[in-house]
């Protein structure tokens, strides 16, 4: 297969799954190609409904997603799955083991499963993940499930990307502490207590219910444009988060979960909020693209081969004549000159 983006896009739009996979690989690899692909495919996006599934490792995310996919397909829709796992900070590699739980869905034409490593991006949803979601959208998949490990801050990320976010918890995982942590409880649309057959499942449901009762208004410490500020914003939501119990191994409770997701989708459509969600998602995309580009500029500025002021600056740092803030200011000027 050659690397011609135009040809790959044409084939992908015509239903070629290999071309779709190759475009994903190219988008992941470098931002310049990702940009080219986006320019060719963006008009075809905006149709898919994105569901985010997050939860601590071991809560049963992949198994649950497997069941969700089965039901979505049974109900007559097509679904793409993006399963994100963390990259090793030491080797840069990753063991992408989510697909292993979705074997039954491998060969259905209605399903496309892609495993990705987050490649060190904070928040658990990498820049390239957005590109992969957009590609699945352009390829015509009606639902896209993004599955990622969330251990606190990451949920905020997934809330930007997905229209419905699911937080998965399981009994016996110290989730009573998790429930008390601000920033998690307020922003998920559906709480899923998995492993409902285990001891403690009903207590966990009660704990979540009481946390939610205490949080009928949503207080976020960033303003509506998602920039973190110190102002308190009180925002009431018309959707009261639901709690579902599931057994991801047997499938019990998953039909009801899909029904609840459908209710949330209907609510968003009825209230005209889907557009808002998309806008928030693209805003976040732009932020991440800029951050990635800026990182490259910073690395150039720090490279002694590209910036001959570096050895001098670091000598001054070592002699305590300049602070890291001073150096950063110098480099900002270097970058500004570089970009002009």
Partner 1 sequence: MSEESQSNRIIRAVVAKPGLDGHDRGAKVLARALRDAGMEVIYTGLQQMPAQIVETVIQEDPDVLCLSILSGAHNALFPEIVRQLQEKNIDDVLVMAGGVIPDEDIQALQELGIEGFYGPGSDLADIIDYIRSHLKR
Query: Which residues, numbered 5-34, are part of the site for partner 1 (CB under 8 A)?
Result: 17-18, 21-22, 24-25, 29-30
Task: Please list the alpha-helical segments (H only) found in 175-304.
Answer: 175-180, 201-214, 254-270, 274-302
Question: Which of 5, 13, 31, 94 touches partner 1 (CB under 8 A)?
Answer: 94
At a CB cut-off of 8 Å and minimum separation 6, what does 160 contact? 125, 226, 280, 281, 283, 284
Longest dimension (CA), the chain: 68
**Shortest approach of partner 1 to residue 196 CB, angstroms?**
24
What CA–CA distance (Å, rounded) separates 31 from 89? 21
334 binds partner 1 (CB under 8 A): no
User: Using CB atoms within 10 A of its CB, is residue 263 exposed (0-12), middle (13-18) or buried (19+)?
Assistant: middle
265 in Cβ contact with 163 (< 8 Å) = yes
Strand, coil or helix: what is 53? strand
Task: By CB under 8 A, name the one of 106, 213, 225, 319 that touches partner 1.
Answer: 106
* Binding status of residue 103 toward partner 1 by CB under 8 A: yes
> Could you say whether residue 340 binds partner 1 (CB under 8 A)?
no
DSSP state for residue 334 in the 8-state scheme = H
x/- binding map, residues 35-74, to partner 1, per CB under 8 A?
A: ----------------------------------------
For 330, the token pair is 């110098």
Stretch that binds partner 1, among 57-65, 71-79, 109-117, 196-204 (CB under 8 A): 109-117
Query: DSSP secondary-structure letter at 114?
Result: E
Nearer to partner 1 by Cβ, of 266 and 299: the residue is 299
Q: Work out how close the CB of 215 gets to partner 1 at its nearest, in angstroms, rounded to a whole number.
A: 38
| Closer of 116 and 156 to partner 1 (Cβ) | 116
Per-residue tokens: 50 = 């994105």
Among positions 1, 218, 296, 338, the unique one binding partner 1 when judged by CB under 8 A: 1
Applying CB under 8 A, what is the total number of residues that bind partner 1? 31
Q: Which residues bind partner 1 (CB under 8 A)?
A: 1, 17-18, 21-22, 24-25, 29-30, 87-88, 90-97, 99-100, 103, 106-107, 112-117, 119
């Amino acid at each position: 297969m050659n690397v011609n983006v135009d040809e790959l896009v044409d084939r992908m739009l015509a239903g070629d799954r290999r071309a779709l996979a190759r475009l994903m690989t190219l988008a992941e690899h470098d931002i310049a190609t990702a940009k080219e692909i986006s320019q060719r495919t963006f008009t075809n996006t905006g149709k898919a409904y994105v569901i985010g599934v997050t939860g601590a490792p071991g809560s049963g995310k992949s198994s649950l997603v497997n069941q969700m996919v089965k039901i979505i397909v049974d109900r007559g829709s097509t679904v793409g799955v993006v399963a994100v796992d963390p990259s090793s900070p030491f080797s840069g590699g990753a063991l992408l083991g989510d697909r292993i739980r979705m074997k039954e869905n491998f060969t259905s034409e209605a399903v496309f499963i892609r495993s990705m490593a987050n490649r060190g991006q904070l928040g658990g949803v990498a820049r390239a993940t957005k590109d992969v979601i957009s590609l699945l959208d352009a390829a015509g998949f009606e639902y896209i499930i993004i599955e990622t490990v969330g251990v606190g801050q990451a949920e905020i990320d997934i809330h930007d990307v997905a229209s419905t976010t699911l937080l998965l918890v399981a009994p016996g995982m110290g989730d009573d502490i998790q429930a008390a942590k601000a920033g998690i409880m307020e922003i998920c649309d559906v709480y899923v207590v998995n492993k409902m057959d285990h001891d403690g499942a009903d207590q966990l449901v009660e704990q979540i219910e009481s946390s939610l009762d205490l949080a009928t208004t949503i207080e976020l410490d960033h303003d509506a444009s998602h920039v973190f500020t110190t102002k308190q914003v009180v925002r009431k939501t018309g959707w009261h988060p639901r709690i579902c119990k599931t057994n991801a191994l047997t499938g019990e409770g998953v039909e009801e979960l899909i029904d609840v997701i459908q209710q949330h989708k209907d609510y968003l459509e009825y209230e005209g909020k889907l557009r808002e969600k998309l806008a928030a998602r693209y805003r976040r995309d732009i932020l991440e693209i800029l951050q990635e580009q800026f990182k490259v500029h910073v690395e150039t500025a720090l490279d002694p081969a590209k910036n001959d002021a570096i050895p001098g600056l670091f000598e001054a740092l070592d002699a305590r004549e300049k602070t890291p803030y001073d150096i950063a200011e110098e480099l900002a000027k270097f970058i500004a000159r570089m970009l002009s």
